[in-house]
Structure 1
Amino acid sequence: MSQKVEMTLDVNEKPKLGQWALLSFQHVFAMFGATILVPILTGFPISVALFASGLGTIIYSVITKFKVPVYLGSSFAYISAVVIAVEAMGGSVDASQTGLMLIGLIYVVVAIVIKFIGKEWIDKLLPPVIIGPMIAVIGLGLAANAVGNAGFVEGGAWQSMTVAILTFMITALISTKAKGFFKIIPFLCGIIIGYVIACFLGIVDFSQVTAVLESGQFFALPQFILPFKLGNFQTYNLYFGPETFAILPVALVTIAEHIGDHTVLGKICGRNFLKDPGLDKTLMGDGIATAVSAFMGGPANTTYGENTGVIGMTKVASVYVTVGAACIAMLLSCCTIVAAFIQTIPNAVLGGMSILLYGVIASNGLRVLIDNNVDFTKQRNLIIASAMLVIGLGGALLPLGRFVTLSGTALSATIGIVLNLVLPKD
């Protein structure tokens, strides 16, 4: 399933010391907006989410033997379940954090099962005719977010659209025309230049930076929420009631997304990460990272498409870079002034950049179909791909109870797998 791909820096290659920080910062900028949005929507401390994403990435990298250049950020899949659990507990996070820790343990159990039953079933369950559309759905499913952030919507401000277009064009030109080191940091360059343009057009809000400057508190430990008393940190109690267990079925959705995200990254890097280091190890890393994050009062962790897109555009797959980004994220969680500055980056800048990032992911789905010579003159292949694309991109929802709904990539992949099993092959 994997083919050799020429990378500027392969997974196990270390960048030059002078380039390392810039390459890692590029990943930080890519993940920052989405990672802090989850705690904003759920009411949890942003500093803990940042710290947990960095620590989770390091935990994942250790467990996968530093073979997969994954960055773990805050998962959106659990937002509804967490909010409902908190409301049901009268504002207490007892059920939500206990539930997320159990989610991590479910990942570990599934990983152990996979280790014993083997990995050969993966290629049979996920042939190219399913993998290709699934990757396309992952990228195109995020397209609306990119377009919305860029301001290309009804009533969108011309300043936002201008900034998004220029950020997109600058990033694209640097990626295609630049020489040397600049060619592998197009997103960092695009963000910086787009930010300067946004400042000139007056769409940068410095209120958060002003608030930090007025407080005079430039460094502080993350606002951990722990299941025991430690200093002045907030606390919660482990709780094993119905509100806790209602969160657990969401793991079905995120495990499906986990497989899809690693398949995308494997295609970009020309490797099969589901076989080496193996799905058992990637699930184990993801699960333990989520459990540790929840233990500290943070959200569930998940692999980030934004960072996969950066790897796809720059051809820099070095795990040293993603681990470097993790270390920077942990430092930022304690450095309030720098984190405040990063939060001032307008959505228009991120939107212009995301159009490229998400498009790269979707295009790799088409590459899977082309490279594996999937024959669309066969009705069987045509039906599978068509159903997956329409279901995955059409906003289809399949409720599986009050807390769990299959949608997007998870539902699309489920439909593709079922059709692949039931449709005759001759």
Structure 2
Amino acid sequence: MSKAVLDINEKPTAGQLVTLSFQHMFAMFGSTILVPQLVGLSPAIALLTSGIATIIFLLITQFKVPAYLGSSFAFIAPILIAAGGLDGNGASVNPGNAMIGAMAVGLVYGIVSLLIWKTGYKWLMRLLPPIVVAPVIIVIGLGLAGTAVDMAMNINGEYSFKHFTAALVTLFAAIIFTVFFKNILSTMPILLGLIVGYIYSAIIGIVDFTPVSEAKMFALPNFLIPGVDYEFKVTSTILLAMVPIVIVTISEHIGHQLVLGKVVNRNYIKDPGLHRSLLGDGIGTFVSALIGGPPKTTYGENIGVLAITRVFSVYVIFGAAVLAILFSFLGKAMALVQTIPTAVLGGISILLFGIIASSGLRMLVENNIDFSNSRNMVIASVILVVGIGGAALRFNATFSIEGMALAAIVGVVLNLILPGRDNKEPLLEE
């Protein structure tokens, strides 16, 4: 393994700090602002809370883990379900409901981290084997496929060739940056794809710059405070829409910690411990939801930057978090983000949601899941059809479990009750 340019606790020069921090901010920027755009929340508050959550994570992990926390794609569909969808202007109908669900997710992270602290993590590995987690990840990606294509092709429910060309330009730009670039540009294909698509959209005249001209240079993000901006009322529908997805996000978290540990030559499962990193993720998500931001997760894009630059310094990650917080108050810049055409978002979503589904397939392959085994075939099949088919378990008008949440629960239950379970099989090898 090549030597680090700057190791975990080494301080960069002022010039290095600024340039390297900007690099990390741009790596996560596209993905972090895309999630709120898709679910009708504020991109500014998502950017602000990503910075705050990252600082919280660094504090809880004792400044040992150089990870950046951004908006989680796993919660796109659950947020839309909990919030009651989008209104005619593309805004979330009841965003407060999604925030309540995200707070509950953060609390579950905290409970799991406490259990890991007291009992170790092996039980969690056995509870969430690849045969459960991978099909649920596939469901998350493919379940959103229709949404991505509709955004790319249709405007107000009608097909638009002009808008679809913008989606295709965005899609192919992101593909080119992903496949043909091997340097730092390959870590930010979403941001670069959005930029290329936006420029093309401006050329063909489908960008409305009015919000930018009307926006102030500096502006407060649109905070959502419980008890002030919405009624804090916890319901079973909100909890069941959001909380079961932790089956995937906790697995994703473990995977990121293992990959990051290999990149920086540390064992983060043992030091500072999975319980600390998971707690950092959970508290970051909880605090984010308290002020109106989406759930958070550690970002693979920033792990990619670490691998390429060999700069592992937590000071750089901290600097990126501070820059994100400052950037969220730039009213003109945030207004510009909100003028991104729906078709451009759709184009990038086609690639992104496909990658999510493909990562589930990759997990199955890498873990050598044997589909000649009828047990594996049954679990995967049921999860896929229940999740993608949109099955719902409705007990009354206010209590139901739907879609991917139901698929995740069914998968865990089937894995526990069907004979032939390998109790020694971990999710990932340490």
* TM-score of the aligned structures, taking structure 2 as reference length: 0.73
Cα contact 2:81–2:241 (8 A) shared by 1: no
1:121 deviates by 0.9
Against the structure 1 CA distance between its residues 128 and 37, is the aligned structure 2 distance closer, same or farther, given a 3 Å change threshold? closer
1:300 deviates by 5.3
- C-alpha distance after superposition, 1:173-229 (max 9, x if no partner): 2332235443444333322222111111111111210211xxxx31134455668xx
Counterpart Cα distance in 2 of 1:197 and 1:9: 38
Aligned to 1:392: 387
Cα contact 2:379–2:411 (8 A) shared by 1: yes
Cα contact 1:68–1:319 (8 A) shared by 2: no
Cα contact 1:312–1:361 (8 A) shared by 2: no
Against the structure 1 CA distance between its residues 121 and 373, is the aligned structure 2 distance closer, same or farther, given a 3 Å change threshold? same
User: Does residue 1:357 correspond to 2:352, yes or no?
Assistant: yes
What are the ranges of 5 or more consecutive residues in structure 1 without an aligned counterpart? 85-90, 228-234
Letter in 2 for 1:71: G
User: Does residue 1:155 correspond to 2:150, yes or no?
Assistant: no
- C-alpha distance after superposition, 1:382-426 (max 9, x if no partner): 111111111121112234665564334432222222222222219
1:120 deviates by 0.9
Aligned to 2:340: 345
Aligned to 1:293: 288
Mapping for residues 9-24 of structure 1, pairs under 5 Å? 18=19, 20-24=21-25
The answer to which of 66-75 and 135-144 deviates more is: 66-75
1:345 deviates by 1.7
User: Of the candidates 247, 258, 261, which is equivalent to residue 256 of structure 1?
Assistant: 247
User: Of the candidates 360, 366, 376, which is equivalent to residue 371 of structure 2?
Assistant: 376
Counterpart Cα distance in 2 of 1:329 and 1:345: 19
Aligned to 2:65: 66
What are the ranges of 5 or more consecutive residues in structure 2 without an aligned counterpart? 86-92, 422-430
Letter in 1 for 2:65: F
Aligned to 2:428: none
The answer to which of 276-285 and 325-334 deviates more is: 276-285
Against the structure 1 CA distance between its residues 70 and 319, is the aligned structure 2 distance closer, same or farther, given a 3 Å change threshold? farther
Counterpart Cα distance in 2 of 1:144 and 1:238: 30
Letter in 2 for 1:303: T
1:343 deviates by 1.4
Against the structure 1 CA distance between its residues 11 and 132, is the aligned structure 2 distance closer, same or farther, given a 3 Å change threshold? farther
1:127 deviates by 2.0
Counterpart Cα distance in 1 of 2:56 and 2:120: 23
Mapping for residues 198-209 of structure 1, pairs under 5 Å? 198-209=201-212
Letter in 2 for 1:137: V
Counterpart Cα distance in 2 of 1:196 and 1:425: 55
Against the structure 1 CA distance between its residues 354 and 102, is the aligned structure 2 distance closer, same or farther, given a 3 Å change threshold? closer
Aligned to 1:30: 31
Against the structure 1 CA distance between its residues 389 and 117, is the aligned structure 2 distance closer, same or farther, given a 3 Å change threshold? same
Cα contact 1:263–1:273 (8 A) shared by 2: no
Aligned to 1:114: 116
Aligned to 1:230: none
Cα contact 1:71–1:326 (8 A) shared by 2: no
- C-alpha distance after superposition, 1:9-55 (max 9, x if no partner): 99969996645424422421222132255564xxxx76545423331
Against the structure 1 CA distance between its residues 142 and 327, is the aligned structure 2 distance closer, same or farther, given a 3 Å change threshold? farther
Against the structure 1 CA distance between its residues 394 and 268, is the aligned structure 2 distance closer, same or farther, given a 3 Å change threshold? farther
Aligned to 2:197: 194
Secondary structure, in 3 states, of the residue corresponding to 1:71? strand
Counterpart Cα distance in 1 of 2:407 and 2:420: 20
Counterpart Cα distance in 2 of 1:185 and 1:174: 8
Aligned to 1:177: 180
What is the Cα-based RMSD across aligned positions, in Å? 4.4
Counterpart Cα distance in 2 of 1:137 and 1:313: 28
Counterpart Cα distance in 2 of 1:224 and 1:287: 20
Against the structure 1 CA distance between its residues 336 and 285, is the aligned structure 2 distance closer, same or farther, given a 3 Å change threshold? same
Counterpart Cα distance in 2 of 1:337 and 1:368: 41
- C-alpha distance after superposition, 1:75-112 (max 9, x if no partner): 5535665679xxxxxx9999997887576445434432
Counterpart Cα distance in 2 of 1:265 and 1:180: 21
Aligned length: 395
The answer to which of 275-284 and 330-339 deviates more is: 275-284
The answer to which of 390-399 and 185-194 deviates more is: 185-194
Cα contact 1:150–1:351 (8 A) shared by 2: yes
Cα contact 1:35–1:50 (8 A) shared by 2: no
Aligned to 2:137: 135
Counterpart Cα distance in 2 of 1:58 and 1:336: 23
Equivalent pairs: percent with the same residue?
36
1:248 deviates by 5.4
The answer to which of 372-381 and 280-289 deviates more is: 280-289
Against the structure 1 CA distance between its residues 157 and 224, is the aligned structure 2 distance closer, same or farther, given a 3 Å change threshold? closer
Counterpart Cα distance in 1 of 2:305 and 2:341: 22
Counterpart Cα distance in 2 of 1:374 and 1:408: 24
1:338 deviates by 0.8
Aligned to 1:53: 50
Secondary structure, in 3 states, of the residue corresponding to 1:298? coil
Aligned to 1:126: 128
Cα contact 1:209–1:340 (8 A) shared by 2: yes
Counterpart Cα distance in 1 of 2:146 and 2:9: 35
Counterpart Cα distance in 2 of 1:319 and 1:117: 31
